[in-house]
Amino acid sequence: MSTALVLVSHSVKIAEGVVDLAGEMAPDVPILCGAGTLEGGLGTSVDQVTGAVERALVAADGVVVLADLGSAVLTVESALDLEDGWSGRVVLADAPFVEGAVAAAVTAQQGGDVAAVRAAAQEAGTMFTPEPVQVLPPPAADAPVTARVTVANPLGLHARPAAQLARAIADLGVPVSVGGVDGSSVLQLISLGATGGTELEVAAHGPGAPEAVRAVVGLIEGGFGEA
């Protein structure tokens, strides 16, 4: 099942900027702007939201909508109330606008359905804490496979390479931690603040762990095309 995003802001420029940011990390996900008034001014419009959602539904099975401020949320809720045919296919996420859009886009890129994409957006608000969220490895009889790797690209794990790494780790199907956080979470990877030259530990457990660790180390050493 494919999932699209619609971003509703009072400012078209803000929404378009977030569309660009999220789209950079999720190139296969339809991400549409439902911002501003019909005249392009500051504000929100039920017609703008409805039009964006209808276009998104042409490209995807379901849609997750994110809104920036309280009145934008009310506009989206009004659109949802008016469109009975959207039931179950279109949902509003109670999430931070930028972080939620990034997390939702990456989850949609990984094939998440509407429920998974909305959950990722809503969890994004808890991701940025003073210390990275530590991932406790699952109980295992065998020791974890670990390796240390130095971040090769000068800008480090900023948004684009973090998204590339998170997608690659999710595709491996093996739980992998990078620097002590969940490697499949783009927001947790960004929260590391790992710049060029930072040394990170990569760890994995269970079947396929050695291959997964080698693959992740290779990606980081490769510099994501920026080294």
Sequence-distant (6+) residues with CB within 8 A of 153 are 161, 196, 223, 224, 225, 226, 227
> What are φ and ψ of residue 169, in 5° steps?
-70, -40
Bridge pairing between strands 176-178 and 199-204: antiparallel
10 included as an active-site residue: yes
Please report, for residues 93, 106, 212, 217, the alpha-carbon distance to residue 183 in angstroms, rounded to integers and kept in the order given: 24, 13, 11, 12
Measured from the Cβ of residue 173, the count of other Cβ atoms closer than 10 Å reads 10
Number of H helices, E strands in the chain: 8, 8
Residue count of the chain: 227
CA dist., res. 78 & res. 56, Å (int):
18
In the set 9, 10, 34, 44, the catalytic residue is 10
> What are φ and ψ of residue 70, in 5° steps?
-55, -45
Catalytic positions are: 10
